Amino acid sequence: MKAAILWIVSDFPAYSMLSGWMKAGRLACPYYMEKTKSFQLKYGKKKHSWFDYHRQFLAIDHVFRKNKIAFYKNKVEASDPPPILNGEQVWDRVSKFPKSTNHCGKIDIYGVSHNWFKQSIFWELPYWCKLLVQHNLDVMYIEKNVGEQLIHTIMDVKGKTKDDVNARKDLAHHCKRQKLHVEASKAAGGERATKPTAPFALNKEQKKVLCEWIKRLKFPDDYASNLSRCVDAQGEKLYGLKSHHYHIIRERLLSIALREFLPTNVWKVITEISQFFKEFVLFSNSSR
């Protein structure tokens, strides 16, 4: 009997450890590599952003490529997507690097034209460079992160929402969203920056109704755990949710719950995202 590793399935931090490509900084994306167009957010704690990268993957004559308003302001996207490297091409790059992590940050032009901090031990397998796909990201991990950030942002949970004042300041710098720009108001001791209510954010009464609805939900046996234990009706928020909770809420409940609360154009986007994850999970399970 012989065994072979077909591919690795992990979350993104583990992806970094297993592949040898550091997940932090300007070159964090292991797909774009040195072709990255990431930029630092001025007000977002100097975090790097990959905003508006998706237009590179559209057809060259797609109408979105010439849109200067709906995406990055005053920008026309004419570039092609980055090339997909096969295993042998990646090996040509990583073969010269050490296997030890003691050299992290000390390898030539690290963080400038590459993010390799070691040569992964998997390259010792004679067939590793022949594999079509070597590393995969866990679907449930991605779904949990997307669902968590989406729910916290829609419910405007303080300290957890991605739509804070600093995000609005960066928004004004990169996008044409005049209605969402922060407003300066006079307050005791000086000026205070406030953000206008976003069309995707629920008000206090809506959050209360949503929490009460989730609290009363009943599910079939073995379908989902009791979500009522994760509802803070007084604070109008959800807490302590696990990966499977987000799986159920993201794919089954969110589009139904928000139908009467959000504008149609916002609701449709959220529903399409839910449908994407639902179909993607079904495809992943059927292909095993």
Provide the whole-model pTM: 0.83
Question: Quick one: pLDDT at residue 232?
Answer: 85
Strand pairing class (8-10; 135-137):
parallel
Q: State whether 23 and 151 are in the same domain.
A: no
Same structural domain, 221 and 145 = yes
181, part of any domain: no
Q: What is the largest CA-CA distance in the chain?
A: 76
- The residues pairing with 116 across neighbouring beta strands, listed in sequence order, are 21
Q: Please check whether residues 213 and 244 belong to one and the same domain.
A: yes
Are the CB atoms for 215 and 227 separated by under 8 Å? yes
**What's residue 104's pLDDT?**
56
Q: How far apart are CA 188 and CA 192, in angstroms?
A: 9
What is the domain extent for residue 262? 140-160+200-286
Q: pLDDT per position in the chain (288 positions), as tens?
A: 888 898 999 999 999 999 999 988 899 998 889 889 899 999 988 899 999 989 999 999 999 999 999 999 999 999 999 999 999 999 999 998 888 766 555 677 888 888 999 899 999 999 999 998 899 988 888 888 998 999 999 999 888 899 999 999 999 999 999 899 888 765 555 567 788 899 999 999 999 999 999 988 888 888 888 888 888 878 788 888 888 888 888 888 888 999 999 999 999 999 999 898 888 877 666 655
221 and 242 assigned to the same domain? yes
Residue 227 is predicted with a pLDDT of 86
Residue 192 lies in a domain: no
Write down the pLDDT at residue 122: 95
Pick from 243, 57, 272: nearest CA to 139: 243
For residue 112, being part of any structural domain is answered with yes
Report the alpha-carbon distance of residue 18 to residue 10 in Å, rounded: 9
Q: Is residue 69 part of a domain?
A: no
Residue given tokens 């990583």 in the structure block: 94
CA distance 117 to 19: 10
Q: Read off the DSSP letter of residue 192.
A: E
36 located within any domain: no
pLDDT score, position 128: 95
Number of domains in the chain: 2
Q: Is residue 54 part of a domain?
A: no
Residues 211 and 106 placed together within one structural domain of the fold? no
User: What pLDDT shows up at residue 86?
Assistant: 92
State whether 221 and 93 are in the same domain: no
Q: Would you state the pLDDT for residue 100?
A: 74
Whole-angstrom CA distances from 254 to 58, 236, 286 are 28, 16, 24
Strand 48-49 and strand 135-137: pairing? unpaired
Residues 146 and 93 in one domain: no
Non-local CB neighbours of 174 within 8 Å, separated by 6+ positions: 51, 72, 73
Structure-block tokens of residue 176: 């044409």
| d(C-alpha 4, C-alpha 134), whole Å | 12
Mark whether 235 and 266 lie in a shared domain: yes
Do 130 and 147 have their domain in common?
no
Same domain assignment for residues 106 and 152: no
126 by Cβ neighbours in 10 Å (0-12 / 13-18 / 19+) ranks as exposed
- Are 130 and 3 members of one domain? yes
Domain co-membership, 205 together with 264: yes
- The predicted pLDDT at position 105 comes to 54
Nearest alpha carbon to residue 246 among 232, 267, 225, 260? 225
- Backbone φ and ψ for 117, nearest 5 degrees, come out as -115, -5
Q: Which residues pair with 229 in a beta bridge?
A: none
267 inside domain: yes
- DSSP-assigned states of every residue in 56-117: GGS-TT-GGGG-SSSSSTT----PPPPPPP-HHHHHHHHTTS-S-GGGTTTSTTBTTTB-B-
